Amino acid sequence: MLVRIVATGICRTDIDLCDEWNAADGPVVLGHEGAGIVEEAGRRVRKLRRGDHVVLSFASCGRCGACRRGRPAHCARFYEANFGFRRLDGSNALAASGVGGHFFGQSSFTTYALANARNLVKVPKALPLELLAPLGCGLQTGAGTVLNTLRVPKGASVAVFGTGGVGLAAVMAARIAGASPIVAVDVVPARLALARELGATHALDNRRGELAARVATIAPRGVDSVLEITGEPAMERIGAAVLAPRGTLALVARPNRNARLPGGRRRMSVIQGDSLPQRFIPRLVALWRSDRFPIERLVRIYPFGAINRAMADVRRGRTIKPVLRMGLT
């Protein structure tokens, strides 16, 4: 599929790869929360056509056991498909220019992207692609962890460590699920204030210390589900410490961390919120249209030329979810 990109979100993964990039690795095109309009479709594509509006999500092989069971986030070739900067057959559409492409099967920091029909989700043409773009990764991951992976039941307690885009999506999903209490933890006061507005019953500033003790005053028997999104080892330890018996610590976007913990507790890694994008993204769109998943509260739109400023604003805590507009109509 050839997709004309209208907008693309910036995810923390994009920023981390920029920060860790070494010139010796050669140039690559990042971007993996694209949204746009189909320009051309391959002959074997059946469900999409020219002119369709789409959200681009992660790539998967479509052939392994996990893919055949409708669990593409567990694809046997997930890392290769999304971080290999080439197609699974080894080819690269940008090879002639010496640039790595196909990041998450899309490399959407560009005006046109080549993608596979497996990682495209058709959306209604009347909806703003600038708001829907972040559903392809970050918002899908946060909400999916609550609704798909943990399947949080009504009345269960949830704690979210880190309230960027992924964390706030998790907070909104926890409210949708009827969780209570919902504890948001961060070090940026503005994000904590927004978390309260979006559904958190408690907001804890982690700069004040004694986090485990403060969580215990809110949930004396422990927290049923903890989402650890910061990636900090200390926060993982605290998350395990505040779990209720038989509770679950979900480590978001950190693979191979599954383990049993004392008291029937468990620690598990979650990738992409265990989402099947073609089913889950339409569900999130429906929740947004019913005012239950207010994406617009998280998004700030930048022109594509301001990509470096957008990333700097995320690093400084000024922006939660930046979206780049390509300036095409």
Residues listed for the chain = 329
Whole-number pLDDT of residue 188: 95
Q: How far apart are the first and last CA of the chain?
A: 19
pTM of the model: 0.95
What is the mean pLDDT for each group of 10 consecutive residues in the chain (329 residues)?
97 93 90 97 93 98 96 96 96 94 97 95 97 97 98 98 97 98 97 98 94 97 97 95 97 86 95 96 98 97 96 94 83
Residues with Cβ within 8 Å of 209's Cβ and at least 6 positions away in sequence, in order, are: none
Please return the burial class of 315, using the count of CB atoms within 10 Å of its CB with bins 0-12, 13-18 and 19+: exposed
Reduced to 3 states (helix: H, G, I; strand: E, B; else coil), residue 87 is: coil
Q: Do the Cβ atoms of 103 and 31 come closer than 8 Å?
A: yes
pLDDT on residue 329: 41
DSSP 107-162: --SSSEEE--GGGEEEE-TTS-HHHHGGGGTHHHHHHHIIIIIS-PPTT--EEEE-
**For position 81, what pLDDT does the model report?**
97
Predicted confidence at residue 261, as pLDDT, reads 92
Return the C-alpha torsion angle 276, 277, 282, 283, nearest 10.
40
Whether residue 29 contacts residue 102, with contact meaning beta carbons closer than 8 Å, is answered with no
Give the per-residue pLDDT at 45.
Answer: 93
Nearest 5°: the CA angle 10, 98, 57 is 30
